[in-house]
Chain A
């Protein structure tokens, strides 16, 4: 594997874990790619590193051994990769790696691998357990932070601090706990992951800000970007942020940098206290943040400058941050040659290849409105639907977001414009709004992609049809027949479901656990689920799921095994037109699919088709299954009454189901052409640059034109 002679510098980057809590590697790579002259080798540990496989990101993907295997293994492998690729510099993007690289910087330099990391004593000074001491020594405000060695002690310590508290791992991760149950549960989670107990930090009321900085070998600042977190999801993660220019924040950040005697990248997290306006330092991270891709868009490409410093060059250009820019957390998908994907886990390296796509079939152009266009909170399927329709040659797509920060509403590569919908239960409100949107855009079809809105769309369908807006939807009865509660009563030899019972209290849920065994899956009838490992966790899971006011949950026996899904489209005669079965290769804790491969599952498809035909289904669906690890039996877990979030993959397999939905709506012919060897589907979090002006337009005017 020879170096690409066109590239001046080759950089090895880690941290391509691209699930819903993304690591910084992909953002760093995007910054370097934007400069055009850097070779990139993505160093990954496992399948979770989906970001490494996205088109145009990495020249090669290289497998590293786990950090827990020790220095000898890790550095030995790094040396091998270096020998093969000749990369010049290493940018570690995971907290633990930075410590390891710092302790071995000289050794790496002898190998010809340049780095820019702090000295080990500087890293130790701002370890999470020592942050309070550092702040106290330098007169920096910081919230009270206490350590618990035993997660069971978390509630009593949290009581002292007052709720809410942040529960943090000793290395990474932070979660917000609102009560004693959550404090204990989350402390156990971080202790399991990182060891050493947990840190509990008092929550300071105020807005959250972060500052990313870069220091050279002498500790001098070589650029910084300050960001205000505009939107946080239910897990407390920032999913939208905007660049700010604040003299006070800049001053305190530079004072901290000077006190740290730092080298390399740094992220400082602050809360600006609501009352006093004082800046409280809540965390120091020893690497670039996950949102760093924005740096290339705002005139301060810090990763690019870091590489210049590492290579002994004067950083190019000035670091002049452009205000008015922001990011929203979206997703990007890719299809990877299956042989290359397998290759990295067998041979230790791969050169990502995107299989050539077959030419899109000529289709009748429609003007299609699509809901479910956000990836910040819940990964919605409107995004994949739009991607597949674009791949099919449909150009006139219109996003229907519910909020200004709905990520894909800002995507000019997918949508001509975005028009907001109001959160309302009334079908006539929806009809009126869609009629108004049709006046502006000429839409002739709408594809709803969110479970909760389907009853409203079904009720509105006749009026929409009369207004010239086509839909392809089941009846309300059919919709009810595939709900979680109804599914629990299905009895079918060809489509067994796990043992399920309705529970109306935490105690009833514990009883179900004693009967079905642990872990137990607790599900809200409409949305949300929690995997409960023992009876002690039931209270917290119950409180979290029943918070919406639902007093009855479903307790379901957990099927240990691999997860599969079948997506398909039924026509108005209740006949299945086509189906696509996948095996999920990568999933996040929330159950979303971040990697998958198409599989041949004719019996599974036939069984679900037969059942849905009996129910009288119309439109798209996704059925989710688990295959029992012991007896290989497939169990039906859930039916989603719409296209799934991974559906852009359908276009890559030659079974473009969203395009088929549209063709079915209008009784048009559409030919599916399955590819001979299906690629592997990958998805990663992708922060999209947007302007505050666009966010304001969508939020206040209710529309945003991309044309």
Chain B
């Protein structure tokens, strides 16, 4: 069995979608900070809400936005580091039965 590190939005993070559902506002309820997300950031945040690994996040963004894997990976790593520094995501290990 091997463990896969997943990341999930911390409960301190709330959000509300815009009318089109493709973007939205995200709220850090601990710091009372309100921000608006573009499409890419919104897609990433919704994936993190469900819980996702770095690899899955990279794949998803590659598929949705037609970017190459290297670019997507760099962007996703940067995003996860930023969100982790803000306390917006927490690591959740999952066991894989493979």
The reply to whether B32 and A697 form a contact with Cβ atoms under 8 Å apart is: no
For residue B86, give the distance in angstroms from its CB to the closest CB of chain A.
13
Task: Say which one of B14-22, B43-51, B56-64, B73-81 lies at the interface with A.
Answer: B14-22
The contact of A324 among B14, B17, B24, by CB within 8 Å, is: B14
* Complex contacts, A246 vs chain B, CB 8 Å: 30-31
Main secondary structure on chain A at its contact with chain B? mixed
Q: Shortest beta-carbon distance, B3 to chain A, in Å?
A: 30
B29 CB–A CB distance under 8 Å: yes
Indicate which residue in A243, A324, A699 contacts B25 across the interface (CB closer than 8 Å): A699
- Residue contact A245 to B12, C-beta cutoff 8 Å: yes
Does A192 belong to the interface (CB within 8 Å)?
no
Does A259 count as interface, using CB distance less than 8 angstroms? no
Whether A692 contacts B31 by the Cβ 8 Å rule is no
Cβ of A244 within 8 Å of any chain B Cβ, yes or no, is yes
Determine which of A245, A692, A701 lies in contact with B27 in the assembled complex, contact meaning CB atoms within 8 Å: A692
Q: Is there an interface contact between A693 and B31, defined as CB atoms closer than 8 Å? A: no
A696 x B16 contact (CB < 8 A): yes
Q: Chain B: interface residue count, which band?
A: 10 to 19
Q: Is the CB of B25 within 8 A of A701?
A: yes
Partner of B34, one of A243, A244, A699: A699
CA distance A692 to B27 in the complex (A): 7
Does chain A have a CB within 8 A of B8?
no
Chain B residue at smallest Cβ distance from A228: B32
CA distance A341 to B64 in the complex (A): 67
Query: A214 in the interface, Cβ–Cβ < 8 Å?
Result: no
| Inter-chain contacts of B16 with A (CB < 8 A) | 693, 696-697, 700-701
**B residues within 8 A CB of A703?**
19
* A323 adjacent to B34 (CB under 8 Å): no
A242 at the interface (CB under 8 A from B): yes
**Interface presence of A326 (CB below 8 A):** yes
Q: How far is the CA of A244 from the CA of B18 in the complex (A)?
A: 24
Cα distance A693–B31 in the bound complex, in angstroms: 13
Contact, CB under 8 Å: B32 / A696 = no
B36: interface (CB < 8 Å): yes
Residues in A with CB closer than 8 Å to B17 are 701
Query: When the two chains form their complex, are residues A692 and B18 in contact, meaning their CB atoms are under 8 A apart?
Result: no
* Chain A 670-707 interface residues, beta-carbon cutoff 8 Å to B: 692-693, 695-697, 699-703
Cα A700 to Cα B17 with chains together (Å): 9
Contact call B19/A324, Cβ cutoff below 8 A: no
Is A230 part of the binding interface, using a Cβ–Cβ cutoff of 8 Å?
yes
Query: Is there an interface contact between B29 and A700, defined as CB atoms closer than 8 Å?
Result: no
Smallest distance from the beta carbon of B71 to chain A beta carbons, Å?
27
Residue of B14, B24, B36 touching A692 (CB-CB under 8 A): B14
Roughly how many angstroms separate A701 CA and B12 CA in the complex, as a whole number? Answer: 21
Is B29 in contact with A701, judged by CB distance below 8 angstroms?
Answer: no
CB of B36 within 8 A of CB of A700, answer yes
Contact B27 A244 (CB under 8 A): no
CA distance A677 to B96 in the complex (A): 78
Chain A interface (Cβ within 8 Å of chain B)? 228, 230, 242-246, 323-324, 326, 692-693, 695-697, 699-703
Query: Shortest 4 CB-CB distances between A and B: which pairs?
Result: A242-B32, A324-B29, A696-B25, A323-B29
